[in-house]
Amino acid sequence: MAAGGELAFIRSIRDRTGRSRRGALRLGIGDDCAVLQPAAGCEVLVTTDFTLEGRHFRRDLHPAAAVGHRCLLRGLSDIAAMGGKPMAAFLSLAMPRGFTTRAAGRRWVDDFFSGLLALAEATGTPLAGGDTAEAPGNTILADIVLLGSVPRGTALLRGGARTGDAIYVTGELGGAAAELQQISRNPRRFLRAAYDDGDHPHLFPSPRLKAGDQLRPIASAAMDVSDGLSTDLRHLCEESGTGAVVHAAALPLHPLLSQLQPKEALQLALHGGEDYELLFTARSGKRVPPRIAGVRLTRIGEMTSGTHILLERGGKLKPLRPGGWEHRL
Ligand SMILES: [Mg+2]
């Protein structure tokens, strides 16, 4: 972006975010660096996520507000998975040449920030800086860095599970994949909709920040379900040095799956991905409440010795292979 255009653009973002001093943020957008002061006794969490057009979203499928929401959500979900609280977000955004000189482009960027900043506001995550650039070609690329904090030594890790631990998930599975199927069938309906009507697991998933925070004294290991239960459980098992058994009948299926054949519903719940729920384990004797921070917790299986990850269905055990379902963007 030309220097003048970039300055005007940064000013317009700063006008929307404010030069905010809140929580850990001492100084936000406008200086060479942001200044952060984590609470005493806390460690800093850092996570970074690309949001690439054609890979993570399509302009003809996804409303721009949902792209902005999901861009921030992916980082917040990682902070939640570690049991942390968000401190600040940093966004680098590359847009095609001349994008914001056209009304449609300006509207897209405006809606993108509306979605991102609404979630930032709702979660107390100030947008504290970033960068803009001209993208090569006609694609939009966003890179977000999230900083969070967690009391020293209490971050939830993937490697803390032991044989015999029970496996749980928050919320429901498969909803994001089911909604993406609906969008792919009728994108116009979704592009034109006004999203003030609640549950959109693909377009506007909720970060499980409060649940993650409250799980710190309960969970032995945790991560977020971004790639799909079958893939993410494998990561948890690899880091913990365990195997696992998942009970198909125990999986909390998202209500959107009720319209599908049971076999397809099970596939989406196991492999669908992007549900951004928390997958965690707890010692077998640990009391785990049925809900935490307003979110349902469901026991779906157990960690086992060895390295095999199995799906139990109707009393029969089969290997649970990662993936098996690809995003059709
Ligand atoms: Mg993650």
Q: Using the mean position of ligand 1's atoms as its centre, give its distance from the Cα of residue 223 in Å.
A: 6
Which DSSP helix (H) or strand (E) runs through 137? none
> What pLDDT score was predicted for residue 220?
98
- Report the alpha-carbon distance of residue 192 to residue 111 in Å, rounded: 13
Split at pLDDT 50, 70, 90, the class of 19 is low
Query: 76 CA distance to ligand 1 centroid (A)?
Result: 9
Residue 328: per-residue pLDDT: 53
Q: Ligand 1 centroid vs 284 CA: distance in angstroms?
A: 24
Dihedral, CA of residue 53, residue 80, residue 42 and residue 215, to nearest 10:
-170
Reported as a single tens digit per residue, the pLDDT across 90-119 is 999 999 998 888 889 989 999 999 999 999
Residue 2 Cα to ligand 1 midpoint, Å, equals 35
Tell me the per-residue pLDDT of 190-204, one tens digit each, with 9 for 90 and over: 776 666 666 899 999
CB-based contacts of 288, cutoff 8 Å, min separation 6: 166, 168, 218, 282, 297, 299
Give the residue-averaged pLDDT of 47-60.
Answer: 93
CA of 12 relative to ligand 1 center, distance in Å: 31
Separation of first and last alpha carbons in the chain: 28
Residue 3 alpha carbon to ligand 1 centre in Å: 35
Percent of the chain with pLDDT over 90: 72
pTM: 0.92
Calculate how far, in angstroms, residue 97's C-alpha sits from the geometric centre of ligand 1: 32
308 contacts 258 by C-beta, under 8 angstroms: no
